[in-house]
Each structure stands twice: as C-alpha cells, then as structure tokens.
Amino acid sequence: MTERSRFHESITRENAAVVLVDHQVGLLSGVRDIPVADLKHNVVALARAATALDIPLVVTTTAADSMWGPTAPELVQALPAGQKIIDRSSVNAWHDDQVREAIEATGRQKLIFAGVSLEVCAALPAISATGAGYDAYVTLDASGTFSQAKREAGLLRMQQAGVIVSDYATLMVEALTDNAAAESGAVYAALDMPFAVLVGQISAAHRA
C-alpha cells in the first residue's frame, strides 16, 4: 500500500491504538503553548473515548520517581481498570522494549500519540513508529510543550517525517464511524459534548 493510500484509510476501532506519553505532573507544570487545564481535559477525554470504543491504550511515563513525577491524577482516574503505566528511562518511548512490545501486542496499525512534550514525547515515538511501518497520528490538543517555538519546531519535524497531525475529538469520532452505533452516546459524553448526547436523547424520545 502506498503512503498516500495508507493515510486515506480511515481510523476505526479495529485498527487503532492510543499511546499516551508522559502526561506527568512535573512536565505539565512547564506547559506554555496550551492552558494546562485544557490539556488535561483533552487527554482525559481522549482516554475515555478510546475506552468507550474498546480501543487499546498504552500509557507510559519517564523517570516518574526521580524527575517528572506521576501521571496526572485526572488521567489516571480516566484510564480503564487495571491499565498498566509503563515507566522508562529512554527519551524516545519507542526505544523502550516494554513500550514498543506493548504497542506491538495491540496488533493495531494506526497509532494515535499524545504526549508532553509535543516535540519529544509525542513526536519522537510517532516518527519512529512511522519508520517502522506504522501509520502514526499525533493529537495536537492532547499534547503540550514549553514554548510556541518548540511547538512549531515539533510540527514541522513531524510533517517532514510523514506523521499526520489532528485533534483528539476528530480522531475519536472517525473511529466511531457511525452515529447510530450503540457506543455513540458514551463517546460523545467522553468527548465532553453534552449537547450531542442531549439531542440524541430528544430524538430518541420523539421516535418512541
């Protein structure tokens, strides 16, 4: 399959996995390109929507006990019960055997990355995954970094390497595929779109 046709293939709940890299309290404290409250909201929504769609999650931290602290509590609460958080020392999460093997074990070809910082924690494993033959996507609004210049540099490098950039809600509704699906209400609720859930309830009441 050519590169052009690969990225024209839709994301589905069957072909996607979500990789969350280093949404840790220490790193989050330095984020300047997006309000930290918005970033936390968005990555929590991404995790919840993926869970509603039964899309596998791989979650990792860097030096949680020595440098950057634990995963943000809001995100931990949003993860599925029993979700493992893999701590590592490597800068590029793809270079850690446990992380890479966890991604490979999902059996999914389309990898949706989010991370702090954008240009390192999200971009580097996404670029490496692309080089390994995966289709890599980065959710810009569920990632953050420490300056606007670093954000722009990360975007340029990812685009040059063939990584697709998008936002968390678009990728999750693309995976939903059909608004008539049984999970649609849970997905829109996870994405914090209560108006969609409300309209759906009103429409259902009218049909009854």
Residues forming the active site: 121
Q: In degrees to the nearest 10, what's the CA dihedral of 86, 90, 96, 99?
A: 30
User: If phi over 0 gives left and psi between -120 and 50 gives alpha, with beta otherwise, what is residue 69?
Assistant: left
Distance CA 52, CA 186 (A): 6
DSSP 192: T
DSSP state of 96: S
